[in-house]
Structure 1
Amino acid sequence: MYLLAVGIALLLMRYLEIGFMAGVSWWWVAVPFGLTVAWWTWADTTGYTKRKEVEKMDRKKKERIDKQRAALGIRTRKR
C-alpha cells in the first residue's frame, strides 16, 4: 500500500511538474506501480494476505473472549 501511495505522489509531482520531478522520465514514475502489482501478486499467490487476515481475526476473537471473561470475573490463563 505504501508503494501505491508513493506512486500516486510521484505521478502528481510529475504531472504538475513540481521540483526535480519536472525533468524525470515517466518510466521512473511507473516503477512504484509495477512494484505494487508485483507485491500484490506475490502476497496473494503465497497466501500472505489470507494468513494476515486470519491472524487479525484470531487476535480480535481472543480480545473479545478476554473482555467477556474479565466482565464475568473469570481469570484468563497464561499459556
Structure 2
Amino acid sequence: MFFLLTGLGLMLLKYFEIGFVAELSWWWVLSPFAMAVAWWAWADTTGYTKRKAMERMDQKKQHRIDRQREALGIKSKRRN
C-alpha cells in the first residue's frame, strides 16, 4: 500500500508541476507502481498474503473462544 500511495502522490505532484518532482522523468515518477506490482507478486508467490490472512483468522477465532469461555465462567487459555 505504501508504494501505491507514494506513486499516486508523485504522479499528482508531477502532473501539477509542484516541487522538484516536476523535473523528474515519468519513469521515476511511475516506478513505485512497478515496485507495488513486484511486491504483490512476491507476496502471492511466497504465500505471505495467505499466511497473514490465516494468522488474522486464528486470532479472531481465539478471541471468540475466549469471549465465550468468559461468558460461561471458565478461565480462558491464552495462546500467542
> How far apart, CA to CA, are the structure 2 residues paired with 1:61 and 1:78?
12
In the other structure, the counterpart of 1:49 is 49
Pairing 1:3–2:3 present? yes
Question: Which residues of structure 2 form unaligned runs of 5+?
Answer: none
CA RMSD between the two structures: 1.1
In the other structure, the counterpart of 2:18 is 18
- Contact kept, 8 Å, 2:10 with 2:21, in 1: the verdict is yes
In the other structure, the counterpart of 1:61 is 61
> How far apart, CA to CA, are the structure 1 residues paired with 2:78 and 2:54?
22
- Tell me the percent identity: 61
The aligned length equals 79
> How far apart, CA to CA, are the structure 2 residues paired with 1:35 and 1:2?
10
Runs of 4+ in 1 over 2 A off after TM superposition: none
Pairing 1:70–2:66 present? no
Question: Which residues of structure 1 form unaligned runs of 5+?
Answer: none
